[in-house]
Amino acid sequence: MEALEQKLGYVFCSRELLGEALNHSSYANEHRGSRILSNERLEFLGDSILGFVTAEHLFKTYPDLPEGDLTRIRAALVCEQSLYEVALELNLGAYLKLGRGEEAGGGRERQSILADAVEAVFAAVYLDSDMASVSELIHRVLLDRSDKGVVEERKDYKTALQELVQREEGRTLTYQMTGESGPDHNKTFTFRVLVNGEAVGEGAGHSKKEAEQAAARDALRRFA
């Protein structure tokens, strides 16, 4: 735990809170009756804290941007991929407590599990201290490392494509999964995007959402 606290730059008054943030639901389910709590409630709180801190940061950093642009940038900054990268920087997977099945299935490297744990840790820091402390942590591990290039890379291409397609009445936009490969803990999905039934873009990713975004990005390049 001390090594993780050093990476976080924060020393917990209550190690129990940090421990709870690292308990996956599969671990808690295997220890029912032992009063071991999963990190799901902390994840719920951490998600809201992260959203607020990021919104405040963007509100102050980009005073001229309209609501729609701020919303899209916030979504890019707090997406699963961003949180997953934070988890890798913290080596958070090494500290997770997983059930035997989740452990065997590669849960320690699973993107969604690691991203959720980051949000749970944010909540644990907040409950252990205050908003100022967790805000400093979020800025240091996430927001202050972000730049316009990162925001552009993680742009919400699906929303941009939807807005483009809707400029002409009667056009419909759909996504279709065309492939799935790899082990359960490291799958690759492929999607195509269609406008009025005609394929206009294709993409792949380690989650369905990521693959859809890649397909939308490909379509936008073709429309450009």
Which residue ranges make up each domain of the chain? 2-153, 157-223
Residue 216: count of CB within 10 angstroms of its CB: 26
pTM over 0.95: no
Mean pLDDT of 183-189: 85
Among 43, 119, 128, 212, the active-site one is 119
- Sheet with 188-195: strands ordered across: 173-181, 188-195, 198-205
According to CATH, the topology of domain 157-223 is Double Stranded RNA Binding Domain (3.30.160)
What angle separates helix 208-223 from helix 157-165, to the nearest 10 degrees? 50
Phi/psi of residue 59, each to 5°?
-60, -40
Told to judge if 30 belongs to the known catalytic residues of this protein, a careful annotator would answer no
| DSSP 8-state symbol, 204 | E
Told to judge if 56 belongs to the known catalytic residues of this protein, a careful annotator would answer no
Q: What is the identity of the amino acid at 13? A: C
* Tens of pLDDT, residues 139-163: 999 998 765 555 555 567 888 899 8
| Average pLDDT score, the chain | 90
Among 30, 47, 80, 103, the active-site one is 47
- Any idea which architecture 2-153 has in CATH? Orthogonal Bundle (1.10)
* Tens of pLDDT, residues 49-103: 999 999 999 999 888 888 887 888 888 889 888 899 999 999 999 999 999 988 8
Same fold, 2-153 and 157-223: no
